[in-house]
Amino acid sequence: MAETSPAAEMWTQRVAEWRASGERAEAFSRREGFAASTLRWWASKLKRDMTETESEPTTSTTSTKEVRVARVVRTESKPACQPPPLIIEVGFADVRITVAAGTNRATLAMVLELIGLGVDQ
């Protein structure tokens, strides 16, 4: 692991304090007396350095990382053979109702009742 410079250590601390504060970079930087752009640059650099360090292979036998891999396979699902929808056309009310297979009977009965085609069960 590479040694860090005093500047990197200082900015690591500042970035951590900024993240913990929950403040926007501008407000935090203004209060602490440095430029927000510098704070953001260091945050980005430290993140890149951390990512690069984590992706480097280790030569130590005591440090192992567990990697889990999952394969996702997506298949197109073809709809099962379903009967065609029922179409109800009511000429006097200028209404056309399409009823898909599996429609709730109570809901359909309520709709038919509302347009004046109530059916006694």
pLDDT at position 82: 72
Q: What is the pTM of this model?
A: 0.43
Give residues with Cβ within 8 angstroms of 45, minimum separation 6.
none
Long-range contacts of 35-44 (CB under 8 A, 24+ apart): 39/14, 39/15, 42/11, 42/12, 42/14, 42/15, 43/15, 43/18, 43/19
Burial environment of residue 25 by CB neighbours within 10 A (0 to 12, 13 to 18, 19 or more): middle
Between CA 57 and CA 105 the distance in angstroms is 63
Q: pLDDT-based confidence at 104, cuts 50/70/90?
A: confident
Here the tokens at position 41 are 């640059």
Query: Which residues contact residue 19 at a Cβ distance below 8 angstroms, ignoring those fewer than 6 apart?
Result: 43
User: pLDDT tens for residues 13-44?
Assistant: 999 999 999 899 999 999 999 999 999 999 99
Helical residues (DSSP H) of 1-121, grouped into ranges: 6-21, 25-32, 36-55, 105-114
Determine the pLDDT at residue 27: 93
pLDDT at 64 over 80: no
